[in-house]
C-alpha cells in the first residue's frame, strides 16, 4: 500500500460522494474529508469509507479548506480530488517510481471532463497538478485554487500549472470529472459564485492573467460573451508564457469568443500567433472554424485535415470526428455530396454526421 492520503472537501455532495469514495477503495489509500457544513447525507455516506472526517468552518476560501484537509492527513503524499471526480485509472507501480524520482515536483493528473454538447456526450481532457508532497506545496487562491511551492508562495507564476516543465511531471492517474453534468441552473449558479470569488481575489491581488482567464471562462459559461472577451483580452495583453496550459486554453477561448460575437474577421488575427500555438489539435481545429466562418473554405479544409493528424488534444473529437464533420459540411454546402458523405462516414457514431448521411443518401 502506498503512503498516500486522498484529501477532499465537501458540502452537500451526497449526489457524488459515494461513487467517488467507492472508486478509491481498491487502492487502499487513506481518505481525508473536510466537510464545510453539509446538511444532507454527505457525512453519513462518507463514514462507510473513512473515519477521518473533519469539520471546517467555511470562509469562502477553497484553498484554506483544502490546506486544512491536507494538514489532517497521516501521510505527506497527497492526492487532492473533488467529490465529483471519480478515479478511472491509477497505476500504483508507476506512481511509486514517480514518488521516488520526483519528491519535490508536482504530479499532473489527467482529468477527463464530461459534458453535453449538441445533445451528445463529449469529453475534454486536461492535466492538472494534484499529486504532491505536502512538505513542499500548498494551495493558494480563493477559487480555482492552485498548488504552489511553499518556498515561493508569494509568486503566482511559480504555481505548478504555470511553472517551467521541469517542476512538474505527468502522474499515472486518470480521473473522470462529472461536475458539468448538472442542470443549466446549477451551472449558472456555480459560475456566478466563482465570479464573485474571483472578482474579490482580483481586488485583493491586482491584475493577474490567470484570474482574468478564469473570469473569462466563467462568463463564457453564462453566455455573456462581451464580458468574457473583455477579461480574456486583458489576460492576453499581459506578459504570459505560451508554453503554459492555461495560456493555450485562454487563447482558444479568446478565439471562440470572437466567433460567438460574430467578430469573424477579428478572429483571423490569431493567424499571427499560429506557429506558437498550433502545437495541439484544438488550436488548429479552431483556425479551421475561423477560416470556415470567413468563407475561406479550402484553407478551412486544410486545417481540419491537419487536425486529424495530430495526437495532442484537449477536447475529444477535434482531431477526428468533429474535424471530419466540418469537412463534410463544407463539401455538402458547396455541392460535393459524394465527398461530403465520405467525410461524414469517417465520423463513426457521431449523431449529426449520421443524420447528414441519411439526408444525402
Q: Is 31 helix (H, G, I), strand (E, B) or coil?
A: strand
Q: Which residues contact 185 (CB under 8 A, 6 or more apart)?
A: none
What is the grid cell recorded at 278? 498550433
What is the grid cell recorded at 22? 467507492
Q: What is the pTM of this model?
A: 0.83
Q: Which residues contact 206 (CB under 8 A, 6 or more apart)?
A: none
Could you give phi then psi for residue 116, rounded to 5 degrees? -105, 130
Kind of pairing, strands 106-117 and 120-133? Answer: antiparallel
b/e sequence 287-299, b meaning 16+ C-beta within 10 Å: bbbbbbbeeebeb
> Contact, 322 vs 334, CB < 8 A?
no
> pLDDT tens per residue, the chain (361 residues)?
899 999 999 999 999 999 999 999 999 999 999 999 999 999 999 999 999 999 999 998 999 999 999 999 999 999 999 999 999 999 999 999 999 999 999 999 999 999 887 677 889 998 999 999 999 999 998 878 889 898 744 444 445 565 444 588 999 999 999 998 877 888 899 899 999 999 998 998 899 999 999 999 999 999 999 999 999 999 999 999 998 888 999 999 999 999 999 999 999 999 999 999 999 999 999 999 999 999 999 999 999 999 999 999 999 999 999 999 999 999 999 999 999 999 999 999 999 999 999 999 8
- What length does the chain have? 361
Could you give phi then psi for residue 229, rounded to 5 degrees? -60, -45
What is the grid cell recorded at 201? 481575489
Q: Is 9 helix (H, G, I), strand (E, B) or coil?
A: strand
User: What whole-number distance in Å separates Cα of residue 159 and Cα of residue 145?
Assistant: 10
Q: Which residues contact 159 (CB under 8 A, 6 or more apart)?
A: 129, 140, 146, 147, 148, 210
Amino acid at each position: 500500500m502506498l503512503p498516500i492520503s486522498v484529501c477532499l472537501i465537501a458540502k452537500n455532495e451526497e449526489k457524488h460522494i459515494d461513487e467517488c469514495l467507492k472508486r478509491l477503495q481498491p487502492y487502499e489509500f487513506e481518505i481525508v474529508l473536510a466537510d464545510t457544513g453539509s446538511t444532507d447525507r454527505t457525512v453519513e455516506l462518507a463514514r462507510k469509507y473513512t473515519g477521518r472526517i473533519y469539520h471546517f468552518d467555511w470562509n469562502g476560501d477553497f484553498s484554506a479548506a483544502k490546506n486544512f484537509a491536507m494538514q489532517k492527513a497521516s501521510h505527506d503524499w497527497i492526492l487532492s480530488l473533488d467529490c465529483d471526480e471519480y478515479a478511472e485509472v491509477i497505476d500504483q507501480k508507476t506512481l511509486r517510481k514517480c514518488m521516488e524520482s520526483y519528491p519535490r515536483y508536482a504530479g499532473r493528473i489527467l482529468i477527463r471532463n464530461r459534458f453535453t454538447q449538441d445533445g451528445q456526450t463529449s469529453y475534454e481532457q486536461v492535466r492538472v497538478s494534484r499529486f504532491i508532497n505536502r512538505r513542499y506545496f500548498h494551495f493558494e487562491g480563493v477559487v480555482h485554487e492552485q498548488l504552489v511551492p511553499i518556498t515561493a508562495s508569494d509568486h503566482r507564476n511559480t504555481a505548478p500549472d504555470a511553472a517551467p516543465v521541469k517542476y512538474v511531471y505527468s502522474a499515472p492517474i486518470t480521473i473522470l470529472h462529472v461536475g458539468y453534468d448538472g442542470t443549466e441552473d446549477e451551472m449558472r449558479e456555480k459560475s456566478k459564485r466563482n465570479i464573485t470569488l474571483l472578482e474579490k481575489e482580483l481586488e485583493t491581488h491586482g491584475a493577474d492573467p490567470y484570474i482574468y482567464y478564469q473570469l473569462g471562462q466563467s462568463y463564457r459559461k453564462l453566455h455573456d460573451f462581451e464580458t468574457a472577451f473583455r477579461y480574456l483580452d486583458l489576460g492576453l495583453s499581459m506578459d504570459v508564457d505560451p508554453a503554459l496550459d492555461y495560456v493555450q486554453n485562454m487563447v482558444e477561448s479568446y478565439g471562440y469568443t470572437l466567433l460567438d460575437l460574430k467578430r469573424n474577421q477579428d478572429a483571423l488575427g490569431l493567424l499571427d500567433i499560429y506557429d506558437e500555438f498550433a502545437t495541439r489539435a484544438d488550436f488548429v481545429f479552431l483556425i479551421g472554424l475561423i477560416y470556415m466562418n470567413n468563407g475561406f473554405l479550402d484553407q478551412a479544409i486544410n486545417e481540419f485535415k491537419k487536425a486529424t493528424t495530430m495526437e495532442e488534444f484537449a477536447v475529444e473529437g477535434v482531431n477526428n470526428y468533429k474535424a471530419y464533420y466540418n469537412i463534410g459540411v463544407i463539401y455538402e454546402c458547396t455541392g460535393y455530396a459524394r465527398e461530403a458523405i465520405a467525410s461524414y462516414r469517417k465520423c463513426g457514431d457521431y449523431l449529426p454526421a449520421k443524420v447528414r448521411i441519411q439526408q444525402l443518401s
